[in-house]
Amino acid sequence: MEQTLRASEEKYRRLVDNIDQVIFSLDREGRFTYVSPAVERMSGWRVSDIVGHPFDEFVHPEDLARVRLNIAGRYRGAREPHEFRVVNSDGSPLHVRTYSYPLSEGDEPAGLSGIMTDITGQKQLQEQLHQSRKLEAIGRLAGGIAHDFSNLLTAITGFSEMLLLDGRVDAESRGWVAEIRKSIDRGSSLVRQLLSFSRKQVVRPRTVDLNELIRGIERMLGRLVGEHLVLQTRLAEALPPLQADAGQLELAIVNLAVNARDAMPGGGTLTIETSAAPSRDGPRIRLAISDTGIGMDDRVRSHLFEPFFTTKEPGKGTGLGLSTVYGIVQQCGGTIAVESAPGLGTRFVIDLPASDAKSERDGSAAAEAAAAGGTERLLVVEDDPLVRLTIQACLAPLGYRLTVASDGAEALRVDPAAIDLLVTDVVMPGLSGGSLAARMREACPELAVLFVSGYEAGLLFPDGIPDGRSAFLQKPFTTEALARAVRSLLD
């Protein structure tokens, strides 16, 4: 009988010792009287570190009051599971779920016994899901803002160009209009970044001068990092250009600058450097962004580029900034490395392949020869009144006969046979531009169509622009670009 009892005890001891959950008991004063060996695998604490000590020593300070209330409730019959945080032996928090019940000696409570499960991974997944949903909502908002902002920039572009064409405008005023055009170009770059964030823009690699790109966003970075930081740039001269999406590259620099700012709450220096990088794989350009902040240890550095990994307090970081930077660098065919130590700041080093081509400047500011006009009949469909007015003001002086509509339903009242070209926004309330064109081409298959939108064609028409005499013009566009697109479809 005794041998059978010992065998049974040994069987259950092995079971308790090897399960992942921690079995524990507390006395009436809240001191641990027993904890199973799984506690060391879960938290790093040894059994001898815990037994005889009050549970208060191991509960996260922010959760302690709530845990005390829950234990008191157990003696009054509460049975629901309880979730809180304990502190690991290395000081890091661990999310646990406990099921416990009261122990008694006669009619008197003698303590608690229960089982504890590590739910840290589950909590992390829940937080990632929450962040993903929040970012999806922010992305939709950013896409909508970018679309509306594109319409505003289209109107400002058109009206500023009309001022330049007005012979009554003096030289000084023309200089101010030129400054307006520069601001429009910077606004267009902001739109690209918003669309990139909202995933409503296809990556468009082009030849980019890295130094010129940094100078273009330097003022914005200064405002972003704040007056308590010193922003300095050290840009090597005569660097070859890069092949990259300028908006994506700007986004990577902004994310690294924000990361540096957050690492220097008490002030410091943010340095952005460019130089030629030695490489066996051909010429490469180095972009280095360094700060004099708090730095990081090896553990943090090893997880740095993982999505949703963050050392910031809940609600103060998504954990996606540096993973986004990593993805952008990979798209450019480059590499990224980080040098850091606690208290010694951080330095990100990005090496990107150089390009043989000459850097491309934004064609929106380039002077072009005037496009020819005509007397053809055009139907303009645009739900934004400012953009609609801009298109009218651009095309009417060129001799075109215009009919305008504010949406697809109004446009369908026009006989397709009575027009030579349909100029339509793609994203509109009710009937979209694509559906409108298809409906009108049922009656007039040869109808030429110019689609315009703040979104990129690749997202609006993933299978390509509809067949037939069709073209696409992205907002914000210049009046010259609009006139040329119209003429090319009519000729």
Identify the CATH number of the domain in which residue 308 sits: 3.30.565.10
Mean pLDDT of 6-29: 76
Burial class (CB in 10 A: 0-12, 13-18, 19+), 58: buried
Please say which residue of 73, 95, 118 terminates a domain.
118
Percent above pLDDT 90 for the chain: 42
Name the band, by pLDDT with cuts 50, 70 and 90, for residue 151: confident
In a domain, 146, yes or no: no
In a domain, 170, yes or no: no
Chain centroid to CA 119: 28
Q: Which amino acid is at 404?
A: V
The helix (run of H) or strand (run of E) holding residue 243 is strand 242-244
Q: Give backbone dihedrals phi and psi of 96, rounded to 5 degrees, phi first.
A: -130, 160
- CATH number of the domain that residue 111 is part of: 3.30.450.20
Mean pLDDT of 401-405: 94
Q: What count of other Cβ atoms lies within 10 Å of the Cβ of residue 368?
A: 11
Mean pLDDT of 316-330: 74
Please say which residue of 73, 101, 118 terminates a domain.
118
Q: Which of 329-338, 422-431, 435-444 has the lowest mean pLDDT?
A: 329-338
- pLDDT tens-digit series, residues 350-376: 999 998 766 554 443 333 445 678 899
Name the band, by pLDDT with cuts 50, 70 and 90, for residue 67: very high
Radius of gyration, alpha carbons of the chain = 32
Q: What is the pLDDT of residue 312?
A: 63
CB 309 within 8 A of CB 320: no
Q: Which of 99-108, 125-134, 199-208 has the lowest mean pLDDT?
A: 199-208
- pLDDT tens-digit series, residues 265-320: 889 999 999 999 877 778 899 999 999 999 988 888 877 777 666 666 655 555 56
Cα→Cα distances 59→37, 62, 83, 127, 311, Å? 18, 8, 11, 21, 20
Looking at per-residue pLDDT, the higher value among 105 and 38 belongs to 38
In this predicted structure, the answer to whether residue 202 has a pLDDT above a threshold of 60 is no
Burial class (CB in 10 A: 0-12, 13-18, 19+), 146: buried
Please give the structure tokens belonging to residue 90.
């290395």
Name the band, by pLDDT with cuts 50, 70 and 90, for residue 386: confident
In a domain, 346, yes or no: yes
Mean pLDDT of 176-201: 68
CB 101 within 8 A of CB 82: no
Q: Which domain holds residue 478?
A: 370-490
Mean pLDDT of 325-343: 88
Sequence-distant contacts of 324-330: CB under 8 A, at least 24 apart: 324/251, 324/252, 324/255, 325/252, 325/255, 325/256, 328/245, 328/248, 328/249, 328/251, 328/252, 329/252
Q: Give CA–CA dist 145/182, Å, rounded.
A: 21
In this structure, the answer to whether residues 295 and 397 fall within a common structural domain is: no
Residues near 268 by beta carbon (within 8 Å), at least 6 away in sequence? 229, 230, 291, 292, 293, 345
Q: Which residues pair with 273 in a beta bridge?
A: 234, 288
In this predicted structure, the answer to whether residue 98 has a pLDDT above a threshold of 90 is yes
Looking at per-residue pLDDT, the higher value among 167 and 40 belongs to 40
In a domain, 229, yes or no: yes
> Number of structural domains, the chain?
3
Q: Which of 99-113, 119-133, 223-237 has the lowest mean pLDDT?
A: 119-133
In this structure, the answer to whether residues 248 and 331 fall within a common structural domain is: yes
Q: Give CA–CA dist 58/53, Å, rounded.
A: 9
In this predicted structure, the answer to whether residue 34 has a pLDDT above a threshold of 90 is yes
For the four alpha carbons of 245, 247, 250 and 254, in that order, the dihedral sign comes to negative
Q: Give CA–CA dist 387/381, Å, rounded.
A: 10
Q: What is the pLDDT of residue 245?
A: 82
Q: Which of 39-43, 161-165, 198-202, 444-448 has the lowest mean pLDDT?
A: 198-202
CB 51 within 8 A of CB 33: yes
Mean pLDDT of 176-196: 71
In a domain, 228, yes or no: yes
